[in-house]
């Protein structure tokens, strides 16, 4: 496994001291609660116009009333590719920042509307399609929220059974989806560089943050343990949002991965962190990209006249 970098963490980085984002437009998926809402609030306070992209617009509008700054709410269901396409087709403005934050965690076996395993379909394939459909409008960054779970049990992409039909466990499915987030970021940055785009793709993880993400966990024993952990050990959502905000606003190279600097990357100030060997494999990243294009019907938007190199 790759080790954490030796770069110094930025202990002075604070959500209320972001660069001036006046005139910028940001989309934050899953922004009606937790880290997504905290991220949206910090970006709006810094001057950005923030679009809360949420499945439940009533909850989204309620959440938007707590944000100090310019916001709007738009419907987006990442578990439904028709909803993803509708969101992207309705987009008309320049887009400076896309934060792929929404996610589900350790659910009982479920399928998306398109028949994908729910965690892979929501956490990876929905964001894969959304990002590629919005790329023609993007001028700044894509930040995808991953997780230390990408290391669980030597996680890998099960190309022969992506939906884990024969080997499903909530933990295995979640780990695969979070590994996919990092591989997506790696291959997206490769493609952006190859096509001369100034857009940067980065990933971040919150460490152990207390949010409602854990509430959908299938196993009641695990759910109870997570509730205890949330109460006594976890960071709050404000601290959990700092790696995302750091990746979104600081001068970092493409494909960077940001997380907390504390023990086990569970809590602390944001810094560049390492990833598993599997998460840094460019061949797996390219293979996953090709499969994701086939499953979603969405391709990387090459500049006019260019042809994609075969994998």
Q: Would you state the pLDDT for residue 228?
A: 47
pTM: 0.89
Looking at the chain, the whole-number percentage of residues with pLDDT higher than 70 is 86
* DSSP secondary structure letters along 160-223: GGTT-TTT--HHHHHHHHHHHHHHHHHHHHHHHHHTT---EEEEE---SB--GGGGG-S-HHHH
DSSP 68: S
* Given 168, 174, 257, 300, the catalytic residue: 174
Please indicate, yes or no, if residue 70 is contained in any of the structural domains: yes
Residue 239, helix vs strand vs coil: helix
Rounded average pLDDT over 89-99: 98
The CA-based angle 33-126-138, given to 5 degrees, is 85
Read off the pLDDT band of 6 (50, 70, 90).
very low
- Residue 4 falls within a domain, yes or no? no
- Is 82 domain-assigned? yes
Is residue 303 in a domain? no
Is 33 among the domain residues? yes
The domain in which residue 98 lies consists of: 15-294
User: Is the model's pLDDT at 10 over the cut of 70?
Assistant: no
Convert the pLDDT of each residue in 20-59 to its tens digit: 999 999 999 999 999 999 999 999 999 999 999 999 999 9
| pLDDT score, position 11 | 55
* CB-neighbour burial class of residue 305 (10 A; exposed 0-12, middle 13-18, buried 19+): exposed
Burial class (CB in 10 A: 0-12, 13-18, 19+), 54: buried
Question: Which among 85, 155, 90, 89 is positioned nearest to 120, based on CA atoms?
Answer: 155
Q: Domain for residue 251, yes or no? A: yes
The pLDDT score that the predictor gives to residue 234 is 57
Euclidean distance between CA atoms 262 and 150, whole angstroms: 18
Alpha-carbon span 217 to 107, nearest angstrom:
5
Residue with tokens 């023990």: 263
Query: How many C-beta atoms lie closer than 10 Å to residue 309's C-beta?
Result: 9
Q: How confident is the model at residue 190 (pLDDT cuts 50, 70, 90)?
A: very high
What's the confidence (pLDDT) of residue 79? 98
pLDDT above 70 (res 65): yes
Establish whether 174 is a catalytic residue: yes
CA–CA distance, 60 with 55 (Å, rounded to integer) = 8
Cβ–Cβ under 8 Å, residues 109 and 168: yes
The stretch 267-285 carries a mean pLDDT of 97
Q: Is 121 inside a domain boundary?
A: yes
pLDDT tens profile 232-252: 455 888 999 999 999 999 999
Tell me whether residue 161 is in a domain. Answer: yes
Q: How many helices (H) and strands (E) does the chain have?
A: 10, 8
More confident residue, 204 or 216: 204
Which has more pLDDT, 147 or 221?
147
What is the percentage of the chain residues whose pLDDT exceeds 90? Answer: 80
Closest CA to 143 of 157, 155, 131, 132: 131
Residue 308 in this model has a pLDDT that exceeds 80: no
Q: 136: how many CB neighbours lie within 10 A of its CB?
A: 10
Higher-confidence residue: 12 or 170?
170
pLDDT at 286 over 70: yes
Phi, psi of 133 (to 5 degrees): -70, -30
Please tell me the predicted confidence (pLDDT) of residue 5: 38
Residue 70 has pLDDT above 90, yes or no: yes
> What is residue 265's predicted lDDT score, i.e. its pLDDT?
86
| Domain at 254, CATH number | 3.40.50.720
Reported confidence tier of residue 205, pLDDT bands at 50, 70, 90: very high
The whole-chain average pLDDT of the chain stands at 90
Q: How many domains does the chain have?
A: 1
Cβ neighbours of residue 67 closer than 8 Å, sequence gap 6 or more: 37, 40, 41, 44, 50, 52
């Amino acid at each position: 496994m790759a080790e954490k970098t030796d770069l110094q963490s930025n202990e002075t980085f604070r959500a209320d001291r972001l660069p001036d984002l006046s005139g910028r437009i940001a989309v934050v998926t899953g922004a009606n609660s937790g880290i997504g809402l905290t991220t949206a609030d910090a970006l709006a306070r810094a001057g950005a116009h923030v679009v809360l992209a949420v499945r439940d617009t009533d909850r989204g509008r309620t959440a938007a009333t707590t944000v100090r700054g310019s916001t709007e709410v738009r419907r987006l269901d990442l578990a439904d590719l028709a909803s993803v396409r509708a969101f992207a087709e309705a987009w008309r403005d320049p887009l400076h920042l896309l934060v792929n934050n929404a996610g589900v965690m350790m659910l009982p076996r479920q399928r998306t509307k398109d028949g994908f395993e729910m965690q892979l379909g929501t956490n990876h394939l929905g964001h894969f399609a959304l990002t590629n459909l919005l790329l023609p409008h993007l001028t700044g960054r894509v930040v995808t929220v991953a997780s230390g779970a990408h290391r669980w049990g030597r996680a890998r992409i099960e190309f022969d059974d992506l939906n884990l039909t024969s080997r499903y466990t909530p933990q295995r499915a979640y780990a695969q989806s979070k590994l996919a987030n990092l591989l997506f970021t790696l291959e997206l940055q490769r493609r952006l560089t190859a096509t001369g785009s100034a857009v940067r793709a980065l990933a971040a993880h919150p460490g152990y943050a207390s949010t409602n993400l854990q509430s959908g966990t299938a196993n009641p024993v695990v759910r109870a343990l997570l509730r205890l952990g949330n109460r006594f050990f976890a960071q709050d959502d404000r601290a959990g949002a700092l790696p995302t905000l750091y990746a979104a606003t600081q001068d970092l190279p493409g494909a960077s991965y940001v997380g907390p600097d504390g023990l086990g990357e569970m809590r602390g100030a944001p810094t560049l962190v390492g990833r598993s060997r599997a998460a840094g494999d460019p061949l797996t990243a390219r293979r996953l990209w090709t499969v994701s294009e086939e499953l979603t019907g969405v391709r990387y938007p090459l500049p006019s006249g260019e042809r994609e190199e075969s994998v």
